[in-house]
Structure 1
Amino acid sequence: MTRTNYGPGPVAVLGLGTMGTGLASRLLAQGIQVRVWNRTPERTEPLARAGAVAVGRPSEAAEGTSAVICTVADGEALGAVLRGPDGVLARGTYSGALICASTVAPEEIVRLAGDVPSVMDVGMLGNRDHARDGELRLFVGGEERVFTAGRPLLELLGKEVVHLGALGSGMRMKLLLNLLMGIEVQAMAEAAELAAATGLDKQLVLRTIAGSGFASPVMSFKSRRLATGRFDEPDFRLRLMAKDLMLATEQAAAAGLRLPLTAAAAHTHTRAAEQGFGDEDCAAVTRAVAPEPGTHT
């Protein structure tokens, strides 16, 4: 698919974490003009060497583009890049597709969008490699006509693109998916720590789990991190998983639901983040499960 399928202008990517960098790389590889911004400018340098235009403000990144993709960490950061003094919407509306792919509360998306009609919220399922290779699964909320106009660009970024309904729907789906991931990875970490504490070979147990019918693909993938104990160069930071699990519990409370497993996982991830593991991969939740040094079983 070529650039002419969705519009003549370049695309801005705001926020160059794992997913933002992957998306910008994908666009560059497809011959799209890309403008990039990140709160810490040094993250723009590899993409600038690859052909992107690095700028100093979100509003500057958006100038002359047909689409803006926001992939910042949380609601506060998204509010700043959209509505802050240097934000995309600081001087009024934006005429292109405004794609919010940051995982935030659905109500936050609606509030930040205000009366801007071109906003879509996109829940992304996949990792950095999927983002770079156009293999994401994308779940979209927003007006039907806005989705239809933006779909060619989304199909450039993902192998599956699903319109779920009104604005906020993409975030609701993303929170459900991360809820499952957080619980599954914590459950596997607990099983591995119990194995080690009771005399079983932890590596053998993790291989067994990964090759069993009990394991989801994400568990098989994360089992390798648990086996090696390497949580640097994260696929998804633990503090972001803690945030998303807390958002899911808040959504449940607002709907009058009790989600005991989600609440427990949110507590464990929050504790691990408070212990200093927030910028490690989310599989580092095992640190909050492992026995304290010197503990005997």
Structure 2
Amino acid sequence: MAADIGSGDETSLSDDVSFLCVGLTVVDMITVVGKYPEEDSDQRGISFRKQRGGNASNASTVLTSLGNTCQYLGVLPSTSDPDYSGQPELSLQQFMSNAGKSLHCFTWIHFELRPNVEDYLHMLETVEEYRTKTAQRTGKEPHTVTPYVSVEIEKPELSNPERAMMLADVIFISKDWARCKGWEDMTTAVSSASRWCRPHCTVICPWAEEGAAAWCNNEVVTSTASPPGEVIDTLGAGDTFVAGFLHTIARHKTVSESLNFACKLAAAKCTIDGFKGLQGLVKIEVR
């Protein structure tokens, strides 16, 4: 799917791309220190603040900062108490009541797969059914019909997340999840994970300072990591990578170009505090 999106076909998507990010919002408790800490070192805190976080929430922030129209769907925490651990997950019923009748409004829906995997599978199936019916009505192939779908699989403890791969066009797998499968490098990870995916899909795996790899069209594409310069704040760098890839692949860039942009954007994010000012740090020609 992503191969078709990023093929350079100017008629496939307009520049007005509308995203929906589905998943977690949390309240991050952030302690500010004098300089970026070395591993296992101690420093006196200068200040403390609370900041909205969570993978899907952060991705929506970055997509918006890059100039996209983006909405977020999830359950907000009822308190910012650091001892609170009872936040509920988004249910299928909540997804249907808030987005089920407006799927046509979105170019792309990004799902952060959460522990209630069964609910998320039904959400993905709902989108798949909509695309199939639209394809039948318009005479198109289902994988060319919007909204396109991406899924992020991060936590090793997720129950059988492979089932979600067959329902997505782009799949992001984390280094931790890849290692729990026994894959010790990013190229092995994307090529091995591809066996659970349908044709036309793309599998992405960022691997920290080694860069990132993608499997697409039976080939592996890699991108080296970009040196970030002075590191200020790494919180949300992975979510920035995801958003950067989606931002560019949805605008007709190739998988290789999108991967390179995502790596550069994630590195640039590490040089600023939070996400404010992210736009403009990395330039890429977007048609």
TM-score (norm 1): 0.33
Higher Rg of the two aligned structures: 1
Which one has the bigger strand percentage?
Answer: 2
Which one has the bigger helix percentage?
Answer: 1
The one of the two structures with greater contact order (alpha-carbon pairs below 8 A, sep at least 6) is: 2
